[in-house]
Amino acid sequence: MGEIVGIGLIPGLPHLLARDPAPSWEQLAGAAREMGEEWRAAGAEALMVMSTQWFTVLGHNFQARPQLRGTYVDENWYAYDYGTFDYEIETADALVRGWGGEAAADGFQVHMTDYEGFPIDTGSLVAQRLLDPQRNLPMAIMSCNLYAAAGDMERLGHAGARAAAGLDLKVACVAVSGLSGGWTNRWIEPREDEVSSPAHDAWNRRMLEWLEAGDSATALAERERYSEESEVDSQLRALPLIEGWAGTLGPAQIRSYGPVWGTGAAVVSWNKQQGGSS
């Protein structure tokens, strides 16, 4: 039987890979790298990933091509050292097909994506470079449906947990998503970066406090209002997915919080709760 050895939330913006980062970018990147090191030390053999930057509108796509290689060129930040780099991903075939199969059995529309040159999203690539810089862990990547309800995201998390349990694999799960939106729409020096709105910053901190306290009921209940008032990345669909992975969402460890070009970003981790998935 497999097991989930760790669950996390990280931002997926390429600024975290900058050679000359803002203090917050460096702290966020360091926290993500540390989390990846802990997962590998715990014996993680694969990464289960949902990135809000691979978004779909019809059903749920799962990356099924065995090997993914190419050169990533960010559509916004291509001129900077963090905007262009080569990548190579090995797909965790049994895990991704198991996850997709469990989702399909639950009634979700599932598509296995498998073609040469597929444009891998920024968030998945940033996650690999931070969490697994030596590229030793195969990845099972699912898209983020822009219309998925919170309950559906939780069920998709349960499907992933069941897939992991049915395999002889130790799996780490990561949702790649930001917090508040509100991009800074002018050029700034990295050292000038700050969350663009004090109200957004206050909401981010409130949400993180609920998660740290293990008050997932309040966090989930306030998710829609938070999203409306703070332009939250994909309405924080990452949170119900994480609850589905965990089964019972206990207190979180807030490893880092700060701005990335005006948006809010955090690195957060949870332990897998026993008897959680269903």
Digit-coded pLDDT (tens) for 236-249: 999 999 999 999 88
Residue 174: inside a domain: yes
Name the amino acid, one letter, at 70.
G
The total domain count for the chain is 1
Backbone angles phi, psi at 166, to 5 degrees: -85, 0
Section 20-27 average pLDDT: 97
Residue 167: inside a domain: yes
**Above pLDDT 90, what percent of the chain?**
92
Q: Please give the Cα distance from 211 to 244 (Å, whole number).
A: 15
Residue 219: inside a domain: yes
Digit-coded pLDDT (tens) for 198-218: 999 999 999 999 999 999 999
Digit-coded pLDDT (tens) for 149-199: 999 999 999 999 999 999 989 999 999 999 999 999 998 999 999 999 999
Digit-coded pLDDT (tens) for 70-86: 999 998 899 899 999 99
Q: Please give the Cα distance from 269 to 252 (Å, whole number).
A: 6
Residue 147: inside a domain: yes
Residue count (the chain): 278
Instruction: Give the chain's mean pLDDT.
Output: 95
Q: Any idea what the CATH number is for the domain that residue 41 is in?
A: 3.40.830.10
Report whether pLDDT(277) > 80: no
User: What is the DSSP secondary-structure string of the chain?
Assistant: --EEEEEEEE---GGGG-SS--HHHHHHHHHHHHHHHHHHHTT--EEEEEEEEEEESSSEEEE--SEEEEEEE-TTTTTSTTSEEEEEEEB-HHHHHHHHHHHHHTT--EEEE--TT----HHHHHHHHHH-TT--S-EEEEEEETT--HHHHHHHHHHHHHHHHTTT-EEEEEEE--S------S---GGG---S-HHHHHHHHHHHHHHHTT-HHHHHHTHHHHHHHHT-GGGGTHHHHHHHHHSS----EEEEEEEETTEEEEEEEEPPPTT---
Q: What is the pLDDT of residue 248?
A: 84
Residue 277: inside a domain: no
Look up the pTM and report it. Answer: 0.95
pLDDT-derived band of residue 1, with 50, 70 and 90 as boundaries? confident
pLDDT-derived band of residue 271, with 50, 70 and 90 as boundaries? confident
Orientation of helix 238-246 relative to helix 150-165, angle to 10°? 40
Strand pairing class (3-10; 170-176): parallel
Residue 260: inside a domain: yes
Q: What is the pLDDT of residue 273?
A: 53
Comparing CA positions, the residue from 271, 90, 76 lying closest to residue 172 is 271
Tokens linked to 13: 């913006």
What is the b/e burial string over 229-239, where b = at least 16 CB atoms within 10 angstroms of the residue's CB?
ebbbbbbbbbb
pLDDT-derived band of residue 275, with 50, 70 and 90 as boundaries? very low
Q: What is the pLDDT of residue 276?
A: 42
Residue 8: inside a domain: yes
Residue 79's domain comprises 3-270
Name the residue with higher pLDDT: 227 or 75: 227
Digit-coded pLDDT (tens) for 126-136: 999 999 999 99
Tokens linked to 6: 């760790």
Section 109-115 average pLDDT: 96
Q: Please give the Cα distance from 131 to 108 (Å, whole number).
A: 29
Residue 275: inside a domain: no
Residue in the block written with tokens 């799962």: 62
Q: Please give the Cα distance from 242 to 150 (Å, whole number).
A: 11
